[in-house]
Chains A and B, each alone.
Chain A
Amino acid sequence: MPTHVFPTMGTMVSLAVAGGPVPGAGLARLTALFTAWDDRYSLYRPASELSRIASGELSLLDASDHLRDSYRIALDWRDRTDGDFSPHRPDGVLDLSGVVKALAMAEAAAALLADGFTDWSLDVGGDILVHGDATPGQPWVVGIVDPDDRSALLTAIELDAARPALATSGSAERGDHIWRARRAADEGFRQVSVRAADIVTADVLATTIVAGGPAALDRVTERWPVDVATVSPSGEIRMTPGMRAAMERAATTSSQPPAAR
C-alpha cells in the first residue's frame, strides 16, 4: 500500500493510504499544514509565536486567536484531569506540545477527507489516527512498540470507526512534555497507550496517566469512554477489557490470509 513519509515537528509522519497514493499537491498541502503548526508552537524555534511568549517578548493578550484557542483547549483538559495534564512546565513556561500534535493530526485528517481520501492510517511520531478500512472489510491493525526494544512490537490492536485514535506516552522518552503534577515515579508507568474516539482525547489522557500514575488511570477509565494499555517499570502489562478485546481482534485478523494490497 502506498506509504508517504515526511519529517515534521521534530519527528516523522507516516501516512499509509489504502486504494492509491495521495497526489503531490495533496501531500504538499499536508506538509504545509504540519509546518504551520510547528512554526507557531515549536519551542525549538526561537521565532515561533509560542517561543516569543515564553521569552516575554509577546503577551498572551496579544497572541493570535489560534494560539489562544489551543491554550484554552489545554487549560480545559487541565481542569478535566484534575491537573495531571498541564500546559505549563514547572518553570512556568507555557508549553502546548501536549495538545498541538494531536490538534494538527485532527486537522490533517479533515484535510484528507476533504480531498476524498477515506481509507488511511496517519502516524505522527507514534500517535496514530485511522479512517475507513485497511482493505475492504478489514479494519486497521496497528502495533504498540515495546518500551524495552523500540525495534519490536509489544502487541497489536485493532482500530475501528468507534475508536480510531491511539496515542502512546512514555515516562522516559523525548518530550519532556509530561510535567509530573504529582510524584508518581515509584508506582508510575513506563508507557501508556490510550485508544479513543478522537486523537486529542487519546493523546491528552495517555499523558495524564503517565503523569498521574495508577490513581489517574482509575480516574480516566472511570470518566472517559476509552481503552487503555499500560506497561509498568517491571514490564507488567495491564489492559482494560476494551483494549484486550481490540488486541484479540487484531490477533484474529492477522491470522487470516492477508488480502491483496
Chain B
Amino acid sequence: MKTRAVLGSIFASASVLVIGWQAGASAAHSAEALTSTGSTGSTTASTATGSGTASTPSSTTSSSPSSTGSASTGGSTASTTKTYTGNVIDTQWGTVQVEIKVKAGKITDVVALKLTDVGGRSVEISNYAAPILRQEVLAAQSANVAAVGGATYTTDGYLQSVQSAIDKAGL
C-alpha cells in the first residue's frame, strides 16, 4: 500500500516526472515492471499518458534499451537497485529527462539528468529544484523544531499557527 502511494505520487506529477518509454509495447511492459508490487489502474494510465505526450528525439534511443532491458529482467529482484532512464520530454516546465532508482519495487531516488527552462536555456542541475518524494518529507516532519516558517501570519492567525504551540511549549 505504501509502495502504491509512493508510486502514485511519483506518477501523479507525470508532466514533469514521466518516464517516456520508446514505444507503446515497451511502455506498457516497463510500466508493469515498475509498478509490479503495487500497480493501480490510475498509475498505469498516467504513465501511458505521459508516454503519449513525450516528444522523443531519436537521439535518446541509446539510453533506453539498456534501462528497458533491466526493467524486464529485474522487476522483482528485492535487494538490488535498478536505474531507469527516461526519455527527453517537453513539459510546461521546459525539457526534462530524469533517471529513477528502484529498489525492492520502491522508487528510492529521482535524479534530473537534463533540464531546459521554458526560455530554452539549460538549467544547472546542481541548482535545480526537483520534485521530491513525500516519504522523504514525512521523515523530517517529526523533527523537534525551534521555529516555524510560513507565509506571514497575522496577529490573529498566529493563534491558529503551529508557531504559537511551539512558543507555549518554550515558555
Contact B92 A143 (CB under 8 A): no
* Chain A interface residues toward B at CB < 8 A: 1-3, 5, 7, 10-12, 14, 16, 101, 121-123, 125-128, 130, 134, 140-145, 147, 150-157, 166-170, 173-175, 187, 191, 193, 214-215, 217-218, 221-222, 228-230, 234, 236-241, 243-244, 247-248, 250-251, 253-254, 258
Complex: chain B residue closest to A125, CB-CB = B152
With A1-B170, A12-B158, A12-B163 as contacts: A244 and B132 at CB distance below 8 Å: yes
With A140-B146, A215-B118 as contacts: A238 and B131 at CB distance below 8 Å: yes
Contact B126 A7 (CB under 8 A): no
Q: Which of B113-171 contact A (CB under 8 A)?
A: 117-119, 121, 123-124, 126-132, 134, 136-137, 139-155, 157-158, 160-167, 170-171
Is B42 interfacial (CB 8 A cutoff)? no
Residues of B within 8 A of A140 (CB): 146-147
Neighbour of A123 across the interface among B123, B136, B137, B149, CB < 8 A = B149
Contact A254 B152 (CB under 8 A): no
Residues of B within 8 A of A130 (CB): 146-147
Q: How far is the CA of A166 from the CA of B146 in the complex (A)?
A: 13
* Chain B interface residues toward A at CB < 8 A: 12-13, 92-94, 117-119, 121, 123-124, 126-132, 134, 136-137, 139-155, 157-158, 160-167, 170-171
Contact B163 A123 (CB under 8 A): yes
User: Min CB distance, A186 to chain B, in Å?
Assistant: 9
Contact A247 B171 (CB under 8 A): no
A-B contact pairs, 24 of them (CB 8 A): A10-B155, A11-B154, A12-B155, A16-B146, A123-B148, A142-B149, A143-B145, A144-B148, A145-B151, A153-B145, A155-B141, A156-B141, A168-B151, A174-B152, A193-B149, A214-B117, A217-B129, A218-B118, A228-B129, A237-B132, A238-B130, A239-B132, A241-B126, A243-B129
Q: How far is the CA of A214 from the CA of B150 in the complex (A)?
A: 20
Neighbour of B149 across the interface among A144, A217, A253, CB < 8 A = A144
Complex: chain B residue closest to A123, CB-CB = B147
Q: How far is the CA of A127 from the CA of B158 in the complex (A)?
A: 13
Q: How far is the CA of A174 from the CA of B158 in the complex (A)?
A: 12
Contact B162 A150 (CB under 8 A): yes
User: Min CB distance, A224 to chain B, in Å?
Assistant: 9
Complex: chain B residue closest to A171, CB-CB = B151
Contact A254 B151 (CB under 8 A): no
Residues of B within 8 A of A229 (CB): 129
With A1-B170, A12-B158 as contacts: A143 and B123 at CB distance below 8 Å: no
Contact B141 A153 (CB under 8 A): yes
Contact A221 B163 (CB under 8 A): no
Residues of A within 8 A of B119 (CB): 215
Known pairs A140-B146, A234-B13, A238-B131 / 18 extra A-B pairs, C-beta < 8 Å: A11-B152, A12-B163, A123-B163, A126-B150, A127-B149, A141-B144, A143-B149, A144-B148, A145-B161, A145-B162, A147-B150, A153-B143, A215-B118, A218-B118, A238-B132, A241-B126, A247-B136, A247-B140
User: Min CB distance, B8 to chain A, in Å?
Assistant: 12
Q: How far is the CA of A101 from the CA of B152 in the complex (A)?
A: 10
User: Ordered nearest first, which 9 A-B pairs have the shortest CB separation?
Assistant: A170-B151, A3-B170, A145-B150, A156-B143, A254-B143, A173-B151, A126-B150, A123-B147, A143-B145
Neighbour of B154 across the interface among A154, A174, A191, A221, CB < 8 A = A174
Contact A154 B141 (CB under 8 A): yes
Residues of B within 8 A of A122 (CB): 147
Contact B149 A145 (CB under 8 A): yes
